[in-house]
Amino acid sequence: MQALELKIPPVVQVLAVAGLMWTLAVAVPSLGFTLSASPLVALVFAAIGFAFALLGVWEFRSAGTTVDPRVPDQSVSLVVRGVYRISRNPMYVGFLFVLIAWGIFLSNLVSLVLLPAFVVYMNRFQILPEERHMREKFGKAYCQYEAEVRRWV
């Protein structure tokens, strides 16, 4: 299982899940639902998601550290300001919000089933390995940060 750790860029994972969500929605139209303002609700979730993810990228860039989560050993600083005071993984939270928006837009219950799978996959193959590297690289400072800020929100 370690062979999958930090191998697939998170953006590719999001696109894959979004594609699977669409495929499921098309394959099982009987599980569709109607939400009176679904396009507006989807837009709000997408906007929040993009904002959260972009703020995470902004903070990394401002700190001069790598944005590529597949190479956490290239991190040059521990970023704990801005949106990172709310979540240790704001980019992933943003991606989840975008996927929630997509699920609302698709208006199909079966497509929403993939959301918990995305979280589980991200935790196991992306976040846990990243956290291991951060503990090794930043030691007590990262452990303190972990104790103070939640993984997701």
Which distant-in-sequence residues (6+ apart) come within 8 Å of 19 by Cβ? Answer: none
Give the pLDDT confidence of 102-141 residue by residue, as tens digits.
999 999 999 999 999 999 999 999 999 999 999 999 999 9
Q: Using a pLDDT cut of 70, give the percent of the chain over it.
A: 99
> Which of 53-57, 64-68, 90-94, 96-100 is the least confident region?
64-68
Whole-prediction pTM: 0.94
